[in-house]
Structure 1
């Protein structure tokens, strides 16, 4: 069965934060029925009652538009932080608790998958081998904690997103494959990857390893969900798929689908558009570009 086309609603941050508004845009303007909810669109800092109220509003808005939230994912705010690799232990624990609240929200909305960016080393910690190793071991313990928590809550997957920076572990195919063996030892929700086609651009990797399709082939059996963005391969662009970006971009639907078809035991169930238009871009143009991206992937996927 072909993967489901879905969209991360992080594009709506600051512009269309109301669930009723972004749900209507996804269903009516974009023509997509499957949503990945970005944590940038919710407030995890309040009480349990506040969290439940947000979940109820999101469920109602999605039901009204005939769409579903299949997963919940960390957003730009989380990616801007060190999270589970923060230099301060208190901040690492705060990140752990934040993601547990995200899992609670995920359950309340009815999604079965939670995931995101798990951490970034500070420069000082990354350059200290002993400190780097100690934090890596602690990070694995925190991820195992999250997997257990997610499993007890009834989730199917906890996804860890590989990143394009050496300090943002894991950021190479070898590191990902090494982690996969550790995932098998974790109890609870299945721990897997969310591969992003724009993240194969770590500049210190050999050029052959900066091929997004090589990553897709190597990790498809470990990635039930794949993030889609247009990129020139030289940076983590998160461009929309427009005529302009497609003319210089290296991500194409046929190549993605062909790679998955040839991959051994692909586990990919969702292809999720994750595009971040510039905040200064004109609002209607943003919608036009995202809508054209959705049409592009539907047309190419169905051809």
Structure 2
């Protein structure tokens, strides 16, 4: 019989991009309007490459606002802005060097803001001119990626980061995008100073155009990667695209079943973060209303 255990529910600050961009804006929304006390910071709100005096003040403000509102900033993820670059898999190794240095700066900022976990997708190889997408990235790119991840783990340890995350994406040009690839990567990184864990996203792992109907379920990811999973990203989606809808939208994810599945695979102790994005032109009031309704829908399932 599956043990009924409460699952920590939080929210990624992706909904704040270009809107509630400072802690004095997002902290009261999270606490008072959404009734949550767990967040995942987004580097769409602070670029770790900004000047040192700005970063110092941003880190101070995050610590203060989180403390004032009783919020635990569990982790920091790279966000959309940096994700749009090819990062650690760019064809030019000099750009990979820049991306690696950016991540080190992200670790440094996170630590100064009182955040001791950092993660996100790793990067993407360039597309071919004929449009063909192989089933895996070249081995030389994979080997280089693992080497850089090892160096990043060493840097993270120096800054006091306790856990790093890889977020698998449903694209053949990124890594990893299959359970098998994720298992291989976990084995290749098993002895790093700071452990690399996975963030499994409901809109990524269930993407039917890539995995096929019934072959990209969360169950397979949970069953085979359970020891390596550090958190879950939750969104409403239709399994046809990576939608990142809130739960006022009609989709294929049923909250009660999502929570039950997480418990069944022994993952009830891993936090869940709502990760939703909105068109920049959408009005602020309707977003707050939709987020409030979303948390009202989700809380009973994960409590």
- TM-score, normalising length: structure 1: 0.91
1:250 is matched with which residue: 218, 243, 252?
A: 252
**How large is the Cα RMSD of the aligned pairs?**
2.1
In structure 1, the gaps of 5 or more residues are none
Tell me the number of residue pairs that the alignment of Structure 1 and Structure 2 aligns.
296
Whether the aligned pair in 2 keeps the contact of 1:195 and 1:219 (CA below 8 Å) is no
Q: Which residue of 1 aligns with 2:66?
A: 62
Contact kept, 8 Å, 1:165 with 1:202, in 2: the verdict is: no
CA apart distance, 1:39: 0.2
Q: Name the residue aligned to 1:286.
A: 287
Secondary structure, counterpart of 2:73 in structure 1: strand
* Structure-2 change in CA distance of 1:275 and 1:21 (3 Å): same
CA distance in 2: counterparts of 1:110 and 1:124, whole angstroms: 42
1:15-164 paired onto structure 2 within 5 Å: 15-124=19-128, 132-164=138-170
Higher helix share: 1
Greater RCO, CA 8 A, separation 6+: 2
Gap runs ≥5 in structure 2: none
1:38-93 deviation digits (Å, cap 9, x = unpaired): 00000222233332221001111211212121101010112211000011111111
Hey, what's the Cα distance between the residues in 2 that align with 1:234 and 1:14?
27
Partner of 2:176: 170
Q: Deviations over 1:76-112 (max 9, x none)?
A: 1122110000111111111111111111111112122
- Which TM-score applies when normalising by structure 2? 0.91
Q: How does 1:263-274 map to 2 (within 5 A)?
A: 263=265, 265-266=266-267, 268-274=269-275
Contact 1:35 1:67 in 2 (8 A): yes
Give the direction of change, closer, same or farther, for the CA distance of 1:172–1:202 in structure 2 (3 Å limit). Answer: farther
Greater CA drift, 210-219 or 230-239: 210-219
Q: CA deviation at 1:173?
A: 1.2
Q: Is the 8 A contact 2:9 2:302 kept in 1?
A: no
Shift of 1:255: 1.4
Q: Name the SS of the counterpart of 1:70 in structure 2.
A: strand
Q: Decide whether aligned partners of structure 1 residues 204 and 109 sit closer, same or farther in structure 2, where only a CA change above 3 A counts.
A: same
Give the distance between the partners of 2:6 and 2:110, measured in 1 at CA: 24
How big is each residue's C-alpha offset from its partner over 1:154-174, in whole Å with a ceiling of 9 and x where there is no partner? 222100000011111111111
